[in-house]
Chain A
Amino acid sequence: MIRQRSHMPLFMLVKLAWRNLWRHRRRTVITLSSIAIGFGLAVVSIGIGDGSHNSMIRNAIKLGEGHLALQMPGYLEAPANYKYLADGRSLQAKLEALQIDGKVEARISLQTLASSANNSVGAGLEGMNVISDPRVAMLRPKIITGHWLEPGDHRGVLIGDGMARKLKLKVGGKVVLMAGTQGGDSQAQLGRVRGIFDSHVDELDDFLVLSDIDFARRFLTGEGADVERLPVTRFSLFLNDPDSMAQWKGVIQASLADEEVVVLDWHEMMPQLVQFIVIDDAGNYVFLTLILIMVVFGILNTVLMSVLERTREFGLLRALGLGRYHLLLLVLCESVLLSVLAVLIGWVVGGGAHWWISTHGIDFSAMMGGEMSIAGTFMDPVIYTELSQGRVIQLTVIVFAVTLASGIYPALKAARVAPVAALRT
């Protein structure tokens, strides 16, 4: 027998594979649709996961100390009133010189005792810019009586409803804030309640007192600071592009290398949030794995069945001189085409769903009973899907690889067809 190696150019291979796919149109369509739907669901679930996490992070950052914070070394481990940045003015000038793409907010945090005629409780006093600070947007809507602070109000404070109850205070009432200094003396300032808020977060409602930064600064004066240098406890930085955080952190650290400050990012400031997200992500990955397994099943079923049914046909092709290798390639090509189509359609389905949900959002408030506080921050009841570039690539590559891999076994099987035996079937 003349052993001729039949040569098939790639183009023809592809065309043949394509035609093979569509010979059993219904089967191919059904397989494609199930892969596509599975993929679409994966896209949506990952999108929801990312969307909800990012919303939590955004809220936490807005409510907390921003993406990056500048404060005294040792403050994070053991906060104390006397650990303040003495020369806020020059630090702020340096930060502004860097032209950071975002907001720089000065803040003062103090541990105090809040007293009324009736009672006393420990309180955390937060002095900030009452107009521009991102906290304003988070907490202003939570005011239940009274009103937010006006700029230049050097006596006004805002307290939570938990504290108002404990101290039996109403809007307009007097609250004396007292703080011990490092020297051991204590200093007291009078505050007037301008408004009471209810955030549904106990730590805030029971312990937080908000004021204009100049009010809080008086306590730092008592600690020995020079008010002219605008001392602060920290600078909180809110970046417009969260992904630029690492880059800006490096820049700021470099330019402030000789100052006695540390630059911290929100991972370091809010480790419990980081962990919550890691865990939630883990759950998502388990789900993704399940989906992929289903996809594999679907493809394996289709391609394997089609190979097994074409044993005779393959036998014929082999008898006609088509090499094993080319046969393998042929079947593999069918898998590749199937994968490509599936991913494309999957993206149409998933992408469409993502587009719709990212615009309209899914309202989870029925499940959550209003806004919920988790891991120290809020989760909005309406969640929008978010897909970053990285995710898109990740999903595409994974599904493509998986569908391709499931095509290997059938391809091998096809290649092993023995022409004579096959023709007998």
Chain B
Amino acid sequence: MHNLATASPFGRLFILLFIAWRNIWRNPVRSVLTIAALAGGLIMVILYASLLEGMTRQMVQYATEVSTGHLQTHRQAFMDDQDLYATLPWPYLERIERDFPAIHIAPRLYAAGLASSTATSTGVLIKAVDPEREAEVTTMLSHVRSGEVNLGIADTTATGLVRYNVVVGAQLAKNMKLIPGSELVLVTQAADGSIGNNLYRVAAVLRPLEPNFDRMGVLLSIEAYRQLMYLDSGFHELAIKLDDIDALSGVQAALDAEMLTLQVEHPLDKLGGMAVVRNWRQLTPAISDMLQLSRSMLVLIGLIVVGLASLGMLNTMLMAVHERTHEFGILLCLGMKRRWLLLMVLLESFFLALVSAVVGSMLGTLLARYLEEHGIDFSASMPDGYDWAGMVFEPVMKGYLEPGQIVEACLLMFVVTFFASLIPAWRTVRLKPAEVLR
């Protein structure tokens, strides 16, 4: 105590640090337990944050990778009425491909038509894609239920008519009794007003992914579409995928600018409207709303988790200090100033928190990494995945760890332990040595 009293403030601090550190290890078991509790709480918070982030990203990925892509561009008239003639010229595609080498793009064309099989006829939505480009942007063509995806020429009939392959949705195949190899007749209103008609062969049936396509979707190659519809002026939709989703807003802005430039160089007809670039949130606001809601609820729950962890820490700290009132009484009697006692208690808490932070961060990172790789597997209870907001998800919850989360969690723990230690510290300040020594 003499040293303490005579030392300079800095020296005093150093001594107190030393004392505090030693104090912790006087009762190693209790300290270890306390550290375990604190570290445990920290790990919970880290894991929860990483699960939250991982699930959100997973949902975004599923929302976009099946058929939407991260961005899409259309003409205004196509967005409003599905106007067949509201196309973007093919030169736009080439320019965008040249100017944005880091993104993947896939053009699409649409039409409404009538499909007939031997069993029945029904209205369908015809969608034309470029199979190679499409595979880089979406996974639509890989979710096959039966047959093999092929959009090329199937064969030639006896009369010399060329038949292309098409791919249909599962529900449509069921309603029209189509299997790979079946013949399909498509009749449409072609772009020049005539009746577009042709024979096709069903090459594959896709698994249910998107309810609309599933019920009435027929997939063709762009070449087959042009032969049916006599529409050569361009494409209706460009789907875009980015490698790095965090760059989304930047790329969208750049594309907006590109579109403006292109429309000046190659002006579009007035009737079709302007070209508009939208991101997946704007394209499927229902899904975006749902994700927002889920995230809000999860954050709420996260706060509760953090609160619980903090409570655990508070509990631990309080107990650790309460049991030492006798000891504190002695120290005060020996001449230790109250404020040094306070500082010592706070420093002990700090050290405990520090060790817990180190331990917790390391373990937390390890576990979070595991979650990133393997995730929580629900496939026992839901082998086919689940259908949520019109998408089909895989039954595995994966985590996603951001270093920032760890830092935030540690900071949180320090703040909480600080406040937690204030309570017992305040109590020690109010201690009356005479009372506790009894």
> C-beta contact mask, B383-404 vs A, less than 8 Å → 1, else 0?
0001111100100010000000
CB–CB A286/B51 < 8 A: yes
Is there an interface contact between A275 and B44, defined as CB atoms closer than 8 Å?
no
Complex Cα gap A236–B175 (Å): 25
**Residues of A that sit less than 8 Å from B by CB:** 24, 26-27, 30-31, 33-34, 37-38, 41, 45, 77-78, 271-272, 275-276, 278-279, 282-283, 286-287, 290-291, 293-294, 297-298, 300-302, 304-305, 308, 367-369, 372-375
A-B contact list, 12 entries, CB within 8 Å: A24-B323, A26-B318, A27-B319, A34-B312, A276-B389, A297-B312, A301-B37, A301-B312, A305-B319, A367-B296, A368-B289, A374-B293
Tell whether, in the assembled complex, residue B389 and residue A374 are in contact, meaning their CB atoms are under 8 Å apart. Answer: yes
Does chain A have a CB within 8 A of B146?
no
Contact B311 A271 (CB under 8 A): no
Given A276-B388, A367-B293, also A298-B304 (CB < 8 A): no
Say yes or no: A287 contacts B301, CB within 8 Å.
Answer: yes
B296 to chain A: which residues have CB within 8 Å? 367
CB-defined contacts of B323 to chain A, threshold 8 Å: 24, 27
Q: Does any Cβ of A come within 8 Å of B411's Cβ?
A: no
Interface check B376, CB cutoff 8 A = yes
How far is it, in angstroms, between the C-alpha of A297 and the C-alpha of B35 when the chains are bound?
11
| A367 and B296 alpha carbons, distance in the complex (Å) | 7
Contact of B388 among A33, A37, A275, A308 (CB under 8 A): A275
Contact of A293 among B44, B316, B390 (CB under 8 A): B44
Q: Are B305 and A302 in contact (CB under 8 A)?
A: no
A367: nearest chain-B partner, CB-CB: B296
- With A290-B44, A290-B48 as known contacts, state yes or no: A368 contacts B293, CB within 8 Å: yes
By the criterion CB–CB under 8 Å, are B315 and A301 in contact? yes
- The distance from the CB of A22 to the nearest CB of chain B, in whole angstroms, is 14
Known: A275-B386, A276-B388. A305 touches B30 (CB 8 A): yes
- Of all chain A residues, the one with the shortest Cβ separation from B384 is A275
Of the candidates B30, B174, B309, B319, the one whose C-beta lies within 8 Å of that of A30 is B319
- CB contacts under 8 Å to A, within B285-314, are 286, 289-290, 292-293, 296-298, 301, 304-305, 307-309, 311-312, 314
CB distance from A62 to the nearest CB of B (A): 21
Write the chain A residue with the least CB distance to B293. Answer: A368
Complex interface bits, B30-62 against A, C-beta within 8 A gives 1, otherwise 0: 100110110011001000100100000000000
- Complex Cα–Cα for A302 and B311 (A): 14
> Which B residues touch A301, using CB under 8 A?
33-34, 36-37, 312, 315-316, 319
Q: Is B271 an interface residue (CB 8 A)?
A: no
Q: How far is the CB of B337 from chain A (nearest CB, A)?
A: 26
**Which residues in chain B, 254-302, are within 8 Å of chain A measured between CB atoms?**
286, 289-290, 292-293, 296-298, 301
Interchain CB contact under 8 A, B315 and A372: no
Pick the residue among B304, B390, B397 that contacts A45 (CB under 8 A).
Answer: B304
A-facing mask of B161-178, CB < 8 A → 1, else 0?
000000000000011000
Q: Are A291 and B308 in contact (CB under 8 A)?
A: yes
- Least CB distance from B221 to A in Å reads 28
Asked whether B378 is an interface residue with its Cβ less than 8 Å from the other chain, the reply is yes
Q: Give B318's nearest chain A residue, CB to CB.
A: A30
| B308:A27 contact, CB within 8 angstroms | no
CA distance A297 to B37 in the complex (A): 6
Nearest neighbor of A27 in chain B, beta-carbon distance: B319
Query: A41 to B319, Cβ gap below 8 A?
Result: no
From A38, A308, A367, contact of B308 by CB (8 A):
A38
Bound Cα distance A82, B389 (Å): 31
Residue contact B301 to A45, C-beta cutoff 8 Å: yes
- Assembled-state Cα–Cα distance A291/B41 (Å): 10
Give Cα distance in the complex from A297 to B313, angstroms: 10
- Which of B30, B376, B381 interacts with A286 by CB under 8 Å? B376
